[in-house]
Amino acid sequence: MMAPRAAIDPIDIAECLPFISLFRFDRDRKDFVCTLSGEENSAAWGGASLVGRRHADFLDCASADAFLLRAQIMMETPALAIGSSVLARKGEPDRRRRVRRLSLPLADSEGSPWGLISISNFGPAAPMKGTMAPAPSETVMFDCRVLPRDDP
């Protein structure tokens, strides 16, 4: 089961909005496009709004590819993801940022996959030291179909 996109009420999550992002799945491009980016998300990636942009527009190639693969799995399963990863902003491969994130797939009004909602907590950008590799991504996914539900 996926929560419907229409069930997200900004008033209910007002205090979280600076950390929230919504990415709609664009079936023609087979990619996700940002439709909402809280101030903290935008600040983490240079301050410009992320709305209308894809991950490949602001992340390095490896980070964008990893996101796309996880996001597609989340939409197809459907699954929620809780994770921690190290990301690099496009054009700054030597500066990496730790992000902890909870992401959920959302459905459109007909129950078909719409996209993802995420809440993120970003650590400070830090330079890479020498040839030290970034910490690995740690993401756990949970199949939404087997999670407990609160049916009316």
pLDDT tens for residues 96-128?
Answer: 777 889 999 999 999 999 999 999 998 776 665
pLDDT at residue 136 tops 60: no
Give the mean pLDDT of the chain.
Answer: 83
User: Domain residue spans in the chain?
Assistant: 15-144
Closest CA to 71 of 24, 28, 36, 29: 24
pTM of the model: 0.81
- Between 16-30, 33-47, 127-141, the lowest mean confidence (pLDDT) is in 127-141
The pLDDT value given to residue 137? 65
Q: Say yes or no to pLDDT of 43 above 50.
A: yes
Buried b (16+ CB within 10 A) or exposed e, 126-144: eeeeeeeebeeeebebeeb
Domain boundaries 15-144, CATH class: alpha beta
DSSP β-bridge partners for residue 145: none
pLDDT, residue 134, reads 47
How do beta strands 113-127 and 20-26 pair? antiparallel
